[in-house]
Amino acid sequence: MTPIYPPEPFRIKVVEPIRLIPPEERELKLIEAGYNLFLMKAEDMFIDLLTDSGTGAMSQEQWAAIMRGDESYAGARSFVRLEAAVQDVFGFKHFVPTHQGRAAENILAACRVKPGQWVPSNMHFDTTDANIRARGGRPANLVIDEAHDPENRHPFKGNMDLAKLRAFIEKYGREQIPFGMITVTNNAGGGQPVSMANIKAVADLYHEFDIPFFIDAARYAENCYFIKQREPGYESKSVKEIAHEMFSLADGMTMSAKKDAIVNIGGLLCVNDDALFQDIKNELILREGFPTYGGLAGRDLDAMAVGLYEGLDEAYLSYRLGQTAYLAARINEAGIQTIQPTGGHGVYVNAGALFPHIPNYEFPAQALAVELYREGAIRGVEIGSVMFACLDPETGLWHYPKLELLRLAIPRRTYTQSHLDYVADTLANIKDRAHSVSGYRFTYAPELLRHFTARFEPLALEVASA
Ligand code: P70
């Protein structure tokens, strides 16, 4: 039976109109954009599930805080308010604001990663991966094997494989590992949480070898709520207490505040180490701005200070995770597979299973992304071979990811149950004609991060199924 999600713990005071353009117009827009949804206009979307990053709705308290923004260059009141919130929620000794998550990652990598060094994690998100590589470093993903099986219902599928991590550290040694990480929740693996027991064991392992431990905290509040729901011993702790315990295990964190701090722009970099903090401030001044604003306006800092608390609110978190579970259940009822169990911020549809007649090199998840727009003017994001297939320079062979997924990320406090019903019904209509959907081929593809700018054309169905 479909779970009923808790009613929205807010009512709507400001509305942003959305418009469903007719099917013939959608067809033209697809052709103009070369069938790449990144190249399409937001005004042509009815429901936009491209990302949950910076796309949520701010509260009346956040908009009020924006009016109190202090735009002083140094030591602004806004900074002082954010500092108090960051200290209260995360408890690290030092912090700087950054313009978004990848800026925090860039500064940390610039300060600590040297060419040839390794940075292990459960799974790095792609900007973290790229920022480590940009400094000549090598990211390593050591998540448990269960993460790669879409049917496996492990409650903490974001966990690090501790045996793999120990073997990895023993192989490369402390000198080759400037710091270690873990991403909560694991976005690249389906928004799956990491258990407190696993975070503790990871922290102990890094510290046994004297390796500093950083948390990618983009969706930490959702992770903490999963711990409260699923991990014995945490049922009666508050999400804030769980967060305190989690961050007390780490030496620092990077965060895209566009997720669980419910702001449209912003990020954080926190550390305990005094010498590292000095390096961070110098790098920040060079690239982002003075340490009391970090590339943001004062009003952005105030919105973040308020959003940090709203992201921890348990009525909100129960509604939020209930909403994701509801959408997944409605999609599953239509006989369409999604990654199980459902993660925090989105539903990951198994496009490979929906279109078994489209081989991975003809991009089944891209085909589903196009079809979802064609059928209902809904935008998701392909997480499959368009994004991740890569050419092995040594063998000259293409490596394809294990799964062809379409992610439907749910912006925070933005869409209602009937919007989600519309998404599930649209997918069900596509399933009814799944056999008639064809694959795609590139007409243009850059070498790196090709999903953002590639262009495609549909293949004739006879070719696709030949
Ligand atoms: C997303 C966005 C960003 C992100 C993240 C984690 C775990 C760091 C960052 C970087 C990015 C995205 C993907 C597809 C379409 C649009 C946007 N994730 N760590 O949606 O943070 O973006 O602030 O620099 O998930 O998952 P930032």
Atom of ligand 1 nearest to the CA of 345: 26
DSSP class per residue in 210-279: T--EEEE-TTHHHHHHHHHHHSTT-TTS-HHHHHHHHHHT-SEEEEETTTTT--SS-EEEEES-HHHHHH
Question: How many A from CA of 53 to the centre of ligand 1?
Answer: 6
* Residue of 100, 106, 141, 187 to mutate, ligand 1, most atoms within 8 A of C-beta: 187
Is there an atom of ligand 1 within 6 Å of 125 CB? yes
The pLDDT of residue 3 is: 77
Is there an atom of ligand 1 within 6 Å of 218 CB? yes
- Terminal CA-to-CA distance of the chain, rounded, Å? 39
* Residue of 39, 127, 383 to mutate, ligand 1, most atoms within 8 A of C-beta: 127
How many Å separate Cα 334 from the centre of its chain? Answer: 26
CA 313-318-319 angle, 5° bins: 100
Which uninterrupted H or E stretch holds 456?
Answer: strand 455-458
The tens digit of pLDDT for each residue in 386-403 reads 998 888 878 889 889 889
Question: How many A from CA of 465 to the centre of ligand 1?
Answer: 35
3-class secondary-structure state, position 389: coil
Question: How many A from CA of 460 to the centre of ligand 1?
Answer: 34
Kindly report the protein residue whose alpha carbon is nearest to atom 18 of ligand 1.
53
Is there an atom of ligand 1 within 6 Å of 256 CB? yes
CA distances in angstroms from 106 to 99, 100, 102, 127, 316, listed in the order given: 11, 10, 6, 9, 31
Mean pLDDT estimate for the chain:
96
Dihedral (CA of 75, 76, 79, 84) sign: positive
Atom of ligand 1 nearest to the CA of 258: 23
Atom of ligand 1 nearest to the CA of 185: 7
Atom of ligand 1 nearest to the CA of 409: 20
- Is 261 within 8 Å of 255 (Cβ atoms)? yes
Strand pairing partners for 97? 268
The pLDDT of residue 301 is: 98
If one counts every other C-beta atom within 10 angstroms of the C-beta of residue 441, the result is 15
Question: How many A from CA of 423 to the centre of ligand 1?
Answer: 22
Point out the residues that are catalytic.
73, 125-126, 216, 218, 259, 451
Query: Alpha-carbon distance 214 to 209, whole Å?
Result: 14
Burial of 336 (0-12, 13-18, 19+ CB in 10 A): buried
If one counts every other C-beta atom within 10 angstroms of the C-beta of residue 32, the result is 12
The pLDDT of residue 464 is: 46
Is there an atom of ligand 1 within 6 Å of 51 CB? yes
**Positions of the chain with pLDDT lower than 50, given as ranges:** 464-466
